[in-house]
Chains A and B, each alone.
Chain A
Amino acid sequence: MIKYTEEKTNNKLKVMTKDKRAKRASALKQFHKEVGKNTRVNAKRAVQSLEYAKHTRVK
């Protein structure tokens, strides 16, 4: 049997300080908040679009 590919593994552990972890958590919270604001507007528009589409007749 000829095996061309080998699984590449990287066992070197990365450093995660408490500060870095806290910074990431706070940035992620802000990210959720900002995306959430926009997706709520999008959801509202989706409902409205369906309603408006009932009144557009094409011929």
Chain B
Amino acid sequence: MNYSIVVLEKNDDINDFCEYIKEYNYLENGLFDRLKSVFESTGFPCTIVCEFEYVDKFYRDSYYHYFAGKHFYYERNCKRLSIFKGKIEEGLLFDYSDKNEVYLNSCFIGTIVLKPINIGKIGRCLLDPCKLNIKKSYLRLTSFDMVVIGHIFKINAFPYSSQDSETITCAETTVWSILEYYGNRYSEYKSVLPSDIYNEISRISNERVWPSKGLEYEKVSDLLKTFGFSPRLYAAESYGVSSKFDFTNCSEYHRIFHYYVESGIPFAVGIIASDPEDVGHSMVCIGHSSKKKDLGDINSLDIDGVPYVDSADYYTDYIMIDDNRVPYVIDDFYDISEYGNDTYVDVFAVPLYKRIMMEASDARAIISQLLQYDDYNFNYFLRNYPDIITGKNNPVVVRLFLTSSRKYKHFRAKNSGSRDESEFYANCLLPKFLWVAEISTHEEFENNRVLGEIVLDATFSISCEDQDYENSVILIRYFSHVGYAKDKGGLRKYLDENGEEVEYYINGFDMILDGLEEDNQFSESFQLYVNNLQAVGEN
């Protein structure tokens, strides 16, 4: 038989299981513990289908291009463990009725590939975090189909693999994991294998590539660019941070990091210890946990007597795919103690879509000025709502994120308070990507409600020269007041102070301001945008 079916009833069964699949002696302590942690998070009992001769395309690629050339024998095939929640009777695993397939799919947690090598034995893993016992988090996942003993199962997961330290180190697994995610989710990208990464590094490297010695982060970004992205690099040192201890509470660098997490863009994170001699490590950030900081621990900015806070400052715990640990680990941005007490986020590379010209720090610069812009600032509108009492315990909260106009339109039209509102959002002409700043108060934010939003055109490019930044603004909504720029502007007719018709050249931003002066049928508060990340886990 090519497979066997095993039920693990309790924690101690994991040792027996490893003995049974003849992996116990080959698993280093670290890997054994990792496997154990995975099973602990699946819970007991769980049913495992073990396939002994599994062709894994990821390992097979490394085998043909590297391991097959070695003197001592390496196997071609891997073992694959398919894990189901609960005790599944053997008969059910061979019942191919529609009803049973739906049931089995609901129990199916995912797969773990065990490679026939000693270092980096845990290969490609696809585990559905919705079915694991993990803390409540908001993640970016994508759908994968897989065939297990003739059944086709569908799960949501983020790809993971450990490093074999010869064909792939953390740098390559980071790139592979990001590409595997994007390639499965979007038709614009394609998944890659270790030899594809090898070929691309060979083009830019001055010496041999395998056995891998890791990569500079510039090259990680270079690879992402080669595979179709328009990446942006953010180094901590350019924000004045050259050691963990340079970080201040609510740092600018962390905010930029969080905006991309909130945007649902999985990105590469390079961490390093403060000692400059140390080599760093790379992982992928795919979401944030639901744990929030207390309001008292967050710095606020005073605008005309009203305190403003950035929603990024609430969150410091992020969900990582780290090839040295189990999938979906949580790391504190300010305290990544897993790799030593002085480790910190040194650089991150965000794989942006080619049409996204505006990056997070520029979007933030525009939003922060718009909120204070003349009589049209948010406070001006807030004064019309005396029931909303802002102050130290209830500051105004601003939440910035990037999203696609498709998802934005769908969400706003679906969650609107009236037909007028839905129709307005459905009819808006929007670019492919948008930067959205939602404005709320702390209390409303806790109830997932917002009081206003500013929408920026993410295809707008910022150059160093002074330019018409206001043309990046597409829509402003403060309570029930909505202003929308249909085009860049031009000559428009107005009435002057004497009631005479005059023509003025106006820009799109003027159109928004004119719109804001009118009341309409829109609701005063609306739903917090939750389309970028998927909620998983229990509180």
Contacts and interface: CB of A to CB of B under 8 A. Distances in A.
Interface string B444-471: 0000000000000000001010111110
A45 B360 CA distance: 13
A51 B496 CA distance: 54
Interface stretch (B189-197, B211-219, B385-393): B211-219
B238 A45 contact: yes
Interface string A12-55: 01111111010110011001111110111011111011111111
Contacts, number: 149
Contacts of B470: 28, 31-32
B496 A18 contact: yes
B519 interface: no
**Size bracket, chain A contacts:** 35 or more
B362 A32 contact: no
A21 to B, nearest CB: 7
Nearest to A50: B233
B369 A56 contact: no
A32 B494 contact: no
A3 interface: no
Tier of interface size on chain B: 35 or more
A45 to B, nearest CB: 4
Contacts of A58: 169-171, 174, 214-217, 220, 270, 272, 279-282
A49 B238 contact: yes
A56 B469 CA distance: 34
B374 interface: yes
Nearest to B364: A38
Contacts of B373: 27, 31
Contact of A15 (B280, B282, B466, B495): B495
Interface of B: 169-171, 174, 212-218, 220-221, 232-239, 270, 272, 279-282, 346-347, 349, 359, 361-362, 364-366, 368-370, 373-375, 462, 464, 466-470, 493-497, 501-502, 504, 509-510, 513-514, 517
5 contacts: A16-B494, A31-B470, A36-B467, A57-B280, A58-B281
Interface of A: 13-19, 21, 23-24, 27-28, 31-36, 38-40, 42-46, 48-59
